[in-house]
Amino acid sequence: MQDWVALGYLLGGVLFVCGLMGLSQPRRAVAGNGLGALGMLLCVVVTLLDRGMVHWWGVLGGLLVGSAAGAILAQRVAMTAMPQMVGLFNGLGGTASALVAWAELHQAMAPTPLAFRLAGGLSVLIGAVTLSGSLVAAAKLHGLVGERPWHLPQEQLLKALTLVAALALVGAFPFLADPAMLVPPLMVMALLLGVQITVAIGGADMPVVIALMNAYSGLAGAAAGFMLANSALVIAGALVGTSGLILTQIMCRAMNRSMGNVLLGGFGEPQAQADADAVYGGRVKATSAAEIALLLDGAQQVMVVPGYGLAVAQAQYALRDLVHFLEGRGVQVSFAIHPVAGRMPGHMNVLLAEVDIPYEQLLELGQANAQLSLVDVAIVIGANDVVNPSANDPSSPIAGMAIVEVSQAQLVVVIKRSLSPGFAGIPNPLFAMDNTLMFFADAKEGLGAILAALKTG
C-alpha cells in the first residue's frame, strides 16, 4: 500500500472516531454522523484512485444499485421498524465481509500466510453468523415469525456441536493447499449457528441480539481488514465491535442477566400461571377515563412510563397530545425510560423524539426512580415487566432486574388491555397494589378518552 493511500485511510479512521464522539451530545450528533459519512466517502475515493480499477462497470453498477436501495430503505422505514432495519443492515454488512474474505481466499493462488488464512476463516464465520442471526431477529421483530422462543430438542448440544464443527473448519484453513474450498461448508455451519443462537431468544430480548449482531458485523469487517492488510477496515471494525459489545453489556445489565444467559435462551417462556389469581385475587381496581381526568386535574407532577406496547398501539401521537394539554395547564410531565423499553437500545427515545417530546424531559432509570416519590400520578402505558416489583423478590424469574419503581408515586395509573403477563410470563403485583388503578383500554383509544374527558371536565 502506498503511503498516501494509508494516509487517506488513517484520516478516514480519525473521522470515524470524531463522528462517534459527536454522538455524545444530541446537538452535535447530526454533524458527527456527517463526519462519519465523510470518512467513508474518503475511504471509497482513496480506494478507487489507488488501484487501477479494471472493471468499472461492475464497480459503478454495484455502487449505484446499493446506494439507491439503501436510500429508499432509509427513507421509507418507520421509526417503530428501526430495530429490524438496523438488524437487516447488520446482516448485509456481515455478509459483505464474509464474501470479501471468500473472494480473497479464492483469488490467492500462491501459498498464503497463516494469519491471512485464519483471518479469512474468521471473517467468513462471523459474517455468516451475522447474516442468519440478523435475519431471524429481523423476522421476529417484524412479526413475520412468532416472537416466542423456539426450542429444539437438545438445542444446547446441537449449538455446541455446530460451533465446534465451524471452529474446526476454520482451524483447517492453514493446512490446505486451497482453503477456499472449505468456505462453502464453513458458511453452512455458520448460517446454522446464527439461526440456532437466535431462534431460542424471545422478542423482549431482541435489543441484546441486535446489539450483539452489531458487534459481529464490525468484527467480521476487522477480520477482513487483517486479510487485506487494510488499516481502515481494522480501525472501523474495532470501533463498531466495541460499540456493539458495550451496548450488549448495557442491555444485559439492565435485565440483570449475563450475556451467556440471554444467548443460551431459557427466558421469555410462559411460566406456570397458577399464582395469577393469588396475586390479583379481587384486589385489582379498574378505573375510567373520567376518573383519571379528575385525578390528573389535581396533579402537579406526572411521570409517564412508556413501554413497547405504546408503539405497538401506535399511541405516540395520542400521548403527545395529552402531554401537551397537561403542560398547557402547568403540569410538569417527565418520562421514565427503561433501558429495554423498546426493541433496541435507545429505541423509546427515538419514538418519543419523533413526536416532538424534548429529550430533556426523558429521564434515565436512576433519575426517574430518584424523582418518583415527588410524582403525583405515574402513568404506565404498554409496559409490564419493567415495572414489575417481583424483580425485588429473589425467587422470581426476573429477580434483580432493574425496574421503574412506580409504586413510589402517590398514584399509579396503568393503561393496559387486560391483566395478561408480559414477556417474562409472570403476574405483576403492581396491578393489585393499593395505589394502583387499572384502566383497561387500548393505549391509543385510552389516551384519547382521557384527553377528551380532561377537555370536557
Partner 1 sequence: MSIWMALLTIFVLATLLGFLVIAKVPPNLHTPLMSGSNAISGITIVGALLAAGGGRDWFSQALGILALIMATVNVAGGFLVTHRMLRLFRKPRS
Catalytic site residues? 385
- Which residue lies nearer to partner 1 by CB, 59 or 164? 59
| Smallest separation (angstroms) from partner 1 to the CB of 398 | 20
H helices, E strands: number in the chain: 17, 6
Report 328-387 residues binding partner 1 (CB under 8 A). 337, 339, 342, 344-347, 349-350, 353-354, 356, 358-359, 362, 364
65 near partner 1, judged by CB under 8 A: yes
Closest CA to 266 of 429, 87, 423, 132: 423
- Which residue lies nearer to partner 1 by CB, 20 or 433? 20
| Smallest separation (angstroms) from partner 1 to the CB of 326 | 15
> Judged by CB under 8 A, which of 121, 139, 202, 226 binds partner 1?
226
232 near partner 1, judged by CB under 8 A: yes
Report 250-279 residues binding partner 1 (CB under 8 A). 250
- Which residue lies nearer to partner 1 by CB, 152 or 359? 359
Encode 267-305 in three state secondary structure.
CCCCCCCCCHHHHHCCCCCECCHHHHHHHHHCCCEEEEE
> Judged by CB under 8 A, which of 176, 181, 246, 399 binds partner 1?
246
Is the distance from CB of 415 to CB of 439 less than 8 angstroms? Answer: yes
| Smallest separation (angstroms) from partner 1 to the CB of 25 | 8
> Judged by CB under 8 A, which of 112, 156, 242, 371 binds partner 1?
242
Closest CA to 384 of 412, 443, 343, 426: 426
Residue 356 DSSP symbol:
T
Report 83-122 residues binding partner 1 (CB under 8 A). 85-86, 89-90, 92-97, 99-100, 102-104, 106-107, 113, 115
Angle at 347 between CA 206 and CA 197, to 5 degrees: 15
Report 7-26 residues binding partner 1 (CB under 8 A). 9, 13, 16-17, 19-21, 23-24, 26
C-alpha cell at 356: 416532538
Amino acid at 403: I
Give Cα 145 distance to the centre of its chain.
18
Count the Cβ atoms, other than its own, within 10 Å of residue 65. 10
Give Cα 291 distance to the centre of its chain.
37
| Smallest separation (angstroms) from partner 1 to the CB of 19 | 7
| Smallest separation (angstroms) from partner 1 to the CB of 133 | 14
| Smallest separation (angstroms) from partner 1 to the CB of 72 | 8
Binding track over 24-53 against partner 1, x by CB under 8 A: x-xx-xx-xxx-xx-xx--xx--xx--xxx
- Which residue lies nearer to partner 1 by CB, 48 or 433? 48
133 near partner 1, judged by CB under 8 A: no
How would you label 153-182 residue by residue, b for 16+ Cβ within 10 Å and e otherwise?
A: eebeeebeebbebbeebbeebeeeeebbeb
> 57-62: long-range contacts at Cβ-Cβ below 8 A with a sequence spacing of 24 or more?
none
> Judged by CB under 8 A, which of 172, 238, 419, 433 binds partner 1?
238
> Judged by CB under 8 A, which of 2, 4, 7, 70 binds partner 1?
70
Read out DSSP for 4-45? HHHHHHHHHHHHHHHHHHHTTSHHHHHHHHHHHHHHHHHHHH
Stretch touching partner 1 by CB under 8 A, among 142-150, 168-176, 217-225, 271-279:
217-225
208 near partner 1, judged by CB under 8 A: no
> Judged by CB under 8 A, which of 2, 7, 66, 374 binds partner 1?
66
In degrees and rounded to multiples of 5, residue 161 shows phi and psi of -65, -45
Q: Please give the Cα distance from 186 to 166 (Å, whole number).
A: 6
Residue with the three cell numbers 410531565? 333
| Smallest separation (angstroms) from partner 1 to the CB of 420 | 27
Report 425-454 residues binding partner 1 (CB under 8 A). none
Q: Please give the Cα distance from 354 to 352 (Å, whole number).
A: 5
> Judged by CB under 8 A, which of 138, 197, 200, 222 binds partner 1?
222
> Judged by CB under 8 A, which of 124, 169, 182, 211 binds partner 1?
211
Burial class (CB in 10 A: 0-12, 13-18, 19+), 457: exposed
Q: Please give the Cα distance from 340 to 338 (Å, whole number).
A: 5
| Smallest separation (angstroms) from partner 1 to the CB of 111 | 16
Q: How many residues bind partner 1 (CB under 8 A)?
A: 114
Stretch touching partner 1 by CB under 8 A, among 208-216, 295-303, 371-379, 438-446:
208-216
